[in-house]
Structures are given as C-alpha cells and as structure tokens.
Amino acid sequence: MLGYLSWRDTKAAVVIFSQNADFSKVLATIEAAIPKQANHKRGPVKESETRFRSVFGNPTDANREVIVTVMAFNVPKWSTSSPKTDLQQAQPG
C-alpha cells in the first residue's frame, strides 16, 4: 500500500469491509498483521474496537513517517429473500 503514496503523503487509510461471521477474529488478525508489514515503526494503537493507528516509514525515505489508520466494518450478508417473505414463512398456517 505504501507504494501508492508520494513523498508528501503523511497520512493514509485502509478501509476493510468484512462479511465474515466471526468479526472478532477479523479484528484480531488485523491487529496482529500490522506490525509484520514492511516499514512498520510503531503501533498499532487501538483507537476503538474497529480502528487501529500505526506509524510507518516512507519506502523511499525512512526518515519520513506515514500515519496509517486501518478501519474495519462488519457488513452483514444480504439475504436473497425480502424480510416480508421471511415473516410470512415464519407464521403458522
């Protein structure tokens, strides 16, 4: 991701939309993976349950830092049937 940034960029964001059933596991994986990335310097700092902030070195200039925020969102899978149909199916008779 840092390869898409210019020398002037000091902030970046990664937005993740997850449809996984175990969203807590997704968050734990994100938190564990951040320090393993190239040019990682500090963090992650857990700013909320779903937001992590870290500092990375710019790939072309290690003295230049980039603040990267990762935000994760749990997005439920859409059902192919409408809620009205589901309610009608649940009613007896």
Which ranges constitute the DSSP H helices of 1-93?
Answer: 23-33, 83-90
- pLDDT for 84: 60
Exposure of 46 in the CB half-sphere (CA atoms within 13 A): 8
- pLDDT for 81: 64
Measure CA 64 to chain center.
23
In angstroms, the Cα distances linking 42 to 20, 72, 80 are: 28, 19, 44
Low-confidence ranges of the chain (pLDDT < 50): none
- pLDDT for 33: 96
What lies within 8 Å, CB to CB, of 3 at 6+ separation is: 59
